[in-house]
Amino acid sequence: MRSLMSSLAFAMVTASGLSLLPVYALAEPGATTRKGCVGAMCFVVGNASGDDARADSTRRPAKARRQEDNSSLYDERLRDARAKFSAAIAAYDRQLATYTRCVRTFDPSLNKAGCGNPPTPPSAPEFGSDTFSGRGNQPRVTAGQAAAIAAARLQLPIVAPGIGPSPELNPWNMAAVGYPLWLWADGPTRVGPVSDSVAGLSVSLEAEVSSLTFRMGDGHVVNCPGTGHPWTSAVEPGRKSPNCGYSYAKPSLPDDTYTVAAIANWAVTWTSNGQSGVINVPAVDTTELPVGELQVLVR
């Protein structure tokens, strides 16, 4: 532009028959423009001043400025939501680890774990409008994290200890020392398939009891694969369970009963976002069992 104006001024002066006078430029303070003059004729060539450019930037459409402000606020709220999510997940993981340890070591006859009688599973993290607010305001979660929360929401049923033959079936209302008892999971042993959604991720779940652990109340532990076999009246008297049974060596009566704890080891299979895995979740329930000695009179 400056070359064009200089050429134009030179042409005008030459055309008028005047002699070419020195051309000078005046820089205005804080500006990128320059003023050129030939004799009494002057011209301005260049860009707007810095102040003018800044003033022009403030004249951007109000809609664009609002969009920038909203974007900044959204980013701040998203960071806050993710921080809350991470804290909630970490707290839940700690509670679940404590609960699992308590269940694995829970012995109702001793109750040294200090985790409740029996231990209570933690509640799944809840995320309401105070945690995630605003359109698309979701944290980044892995498929494994989403599956862990979905499994906690599943609320697996408590499986009671099944013990047979029941003391209620004999006239003494007790189990007998030395008599074979059958042990099994007395309750639902399968759940699902079910679906859930966590922070925008879809999770499919299916759970089943993979094994049982019985703490018999006398210090002994019985580990059983699967869910055991229920005792029925068709079982031959004195016959042992094929895979999950026990016989007491000492009576609990006349002063007390044995508190039997059944730990159901749930295997929760999950699928989410093209990934899959298994989450092991223990659950425990107890029952009271009177055990006595039968005196056999031989004549």
Concatenated DSSP letters for 55-110? HHHHTS-HHHHHHHHHHHHHHHHHHHHHHHHHHHHHHHHHHHHHHHHHHHH--TTT
Cβ-based neighbour number of residue 85 at 10 Å = 21
Q: In the structure encoding, which two tokens stand for residue 279, read together?
A: 């989450």
Q: 212 with 224: CB under 8 angstroms?
A: yes
CB distance 110 to 215 below 8 Å: no
In angstroms, the CA 17 to CA 10 distance is 11
Distance CA 220, CA 229 (A): 20
Contact between residue 281 and residue 153 where contact means Cβ atoms under 8 Å apart? no
User: Does the pTM of the predicted model rise above 0.75?
Assistant: no
pLDDT value of residue 128: 56
Query: Is the alpha carbon torsion for 251, 253, 256, 262 positive or negative?
Result: positive
pLDDT of the chain along its 299 residues, tens only? 444 344 434 334 344 443 344 444 444 444 445 555 555 555 555 554 555 545 455 555 666 666 666 677 777 777 777 787 788 888 888 998 998 888 888 887 776 556 777 788 888 877 654 555 444 555 677 899 889 889 988 888 889 999 999 999 999 999 999 999 999 999 999 999 999 988 788 999 999 999 999 999 999 999 999 999 999 999 999 999 999 999 999 999 988 899 999 999 999 999 999 999 999 999 999 999 999 998 754 44
Rg of the Cα atoms in the chain: 41
pLDDT at position 24: 43
- Count the neighbouring beta carbons within 10 Å of the beta carbon of residue 121: 20
